[in-house]
Structure 1
């Protein structure tokens, strides 16, 4: 008699220069041993990737999960890839950013090969990604004169409000991000840059990450960290108030008109890299959304888009967190960083991966933040100081209470 017990298997794959995707499947391993064929009872896809969608971001993700659950296994690797590619192609208004059918297939195969008795003759190896490709540091010098001129022209024409914000709790920060993004989309808020001040330590996970695979939740709480899930994709943020510099840009979609998703990340960080350069700090882009020095990662960014709709101008949020200093031992107690995530970064651990800004400056975190903001008028002359008005703060708190304070929201990819 075959046991009815289900077992969970998980596989991961990182696209070199891109993002990580994980596939977790539940199935009965006894079926392969006795019948040689089965199907997945439940599938979950998660990771630090991004999705841009005109409607619900989760639609394409759920469709891919259903397709995997409908596959009769074993099936050749190439056939799985073809079926997932077909699903992606059906969603014309959704864009997977940092992953593709190839990497999802490889993550699935890596999960299935842990199943006792799973036939290895279905694995052809043609899809395996290279792990010898290291993320290269890019600077503005790597772009053509036309590209850099275009970046500076966009910034030069931007009427930008700069907000040196007050301290806020983690869920309030995320709620305010959403409130300000929606206000720009309605045409009620001018383009704005907000410098965050954290009121307490936090771990902020990306929209599509698995909470318990990314965070040691009990240990995080023991150490006084609030764990929240934000509305944008990307990876987990480890934030201690006096050790990070965090900012958000709220911009009309027209600011990035004609640019692909990766170039949009670069465009939004131009002010930051020019400011760091002015202050004698060496930094550039690595991958699609990280800021790094030649010695390691300094920070990372994430975006969320609201497409143009009737009565809406379209808007996007770009937020970034930089490590000024870091307690790396505490970080590895709180975050569960996959080996797959650092395999193409020429480092042996998550601790070695970080190169905080204090190693390149004698300025305090506060001084460095103010100095960076002071360089903004050099590329955005129409910059002016502003504040978060009371109505916006109330809307942010309401959104925080509705979504980002919710245990269900934080624990689940819903």
Structure 2
């Protein structure tokens, strides 16, 4: 018998609202107000999300952000910066006590990522797990380097994921790029010289890929969304029941957005859940 999970898919939202809604789902699941949940979402403007501990000063090019009308938000999860634009973004909220959640962070990543792997297969893309022999060199840009159990296609990173555990609840969210504006991406960071920027940009094409690149043709959001909904449902053996947020729940989301994810909070860390 399939376990019933909540499924939420909202219209494209502001960066702060998107991050606040993930945090709200974590709260609601901890309080028993919703079952385990899967969420799909999009962004109403290009957005650079930075990791919880990631530095901004000397790293982010704010003129580039302004040029591309790009929003900036600090995630509650760690990792490097991700440009969210033409993509499907997902989040999973589930108790650490759930039988599907391993105590090991790496194993939990692996178990939950099986749904992502299956979705790529449904799209016709052959993917593999990143080797455990990956470089330990840190990068400011997420898609320059796969982490353990992230997925690669033809040796290039094709998705980015991050995870956090708070008060017994696990939140994992990730970026599934359909296409990627690499010119915009590299305009959002500071480099010591233009030559270094050019060299890094050229090297990036050898390290990262997207759904459109791998398939050689443009895919609609709807096609990608259907594949990932099926992939998660099959592998996790769950039945997804759509939920609609109440006015009170949306009010809570807006309060979290203002308190934790407004631009005034970028240089600091978001408050603990």
Compute the TM-score of the two structures, normalised by the length of structure 2.
0.81
CA distance in 2: counterparts of 1:371 and 1:330, whole angstroms: 27
- Please give the per-residue CA displacement for 1:243-290, whole angstroms capped at 9, x wherever unaligned: 111011111112354431111111121111112112211123323253
**2:204 pairs with 1:350:** yes
Change (3 A) 1:275 1:399: same
**2:55 pairs with 1:210:** yes
Q: Contact between 1:165 and 1:388, CA under 8 Å: does it hold in 2? A: no
Q: Contact between 1:332 and 1:351, CA under 8 Å: does it hold in 2? A: no
Please name the residue that 2:233 is paired with: 377
Instruction: Spell out the pairing of 1:205-354 with structure 2 (5 A cutoff).
Output: 205-240=50-85, 243-255=86-98, 256-286=100-130, 287-288=147-148, 290-307=150-167, 314-336=168-190, 349-354=203-208
Instruction: Spell out the pairing of 1:9-408 with structure 2 (5 A cutoff).
Output: 158-240=3-85, 243-255=86-98, 256-286=100-130, 287-288=147-148, 290-307=150-167, 314-336=168-190, 349-361=203-215, 362=217, 363-379=219-235, 380-407=237-264
Please name the residue that 1:118 is paired with: none
CA distance in 1: counterparts of 2:87 and 2:31, whole angstroms: 31
CA distance in 1: counterparts of 2:181 and 2:160, whole angstroms: 17
Greater Rg over alpha carbons, structure: 1
- SS for the counterpart of 1:411 is coil
Divergent runs of 4+, >3 A: 256-259, 335-338, 374-377
Q: Contact between 1:252 and 1:316, CA under 8 Å: does it hold in 2? A: yes
- SS for the counterpart of 1:302 is strand
- Please give the per-residue CA displacement for 1:359-405, whole angstroms capped at 9, x wherever unaligned: 23343233211232134432324322223333222211101101110
Please name the residue that 2:144 is paired with: none
Q: CA RMSD in A?
A: 2.3
- SS for the counterpart of 1:254 is coil
Please name the residue that 1:20 is paired with: none
Count the aligned residue pairs: 242
- SS for the counterpart of 1:163 is strand
- Please give the per-residue CA displacement for 1:116-141, whole angstroms capped at 9, x wherever unaligned: xxxxxxxxxxxxxxxxxxxxxxxxxx
Compute the TM-score of the two structures, normalised by the length of structure 1.
0.54
Please name the residue that 2:140 is paired with: none
Structure 1: runs of 5+ lacking an equivalent: 1-155, 308-313, 339-346
Change (3 A) 1:369 1:335: farther
Structure 2: runs of 5+ lacking an equivalent: 131-146, 193-200
CA distance in 2: counterparts of 1:337 and 1:318, whole angstroms: 31
**Residue 303 (structure 1) shift:** 1.0
Change (3 A) 1:283 1:389: farther
Change (3 A) 1:357 1:371: same
CA distance in 2: counterparts of 1:300 and 1:278, whole angstroms: 19
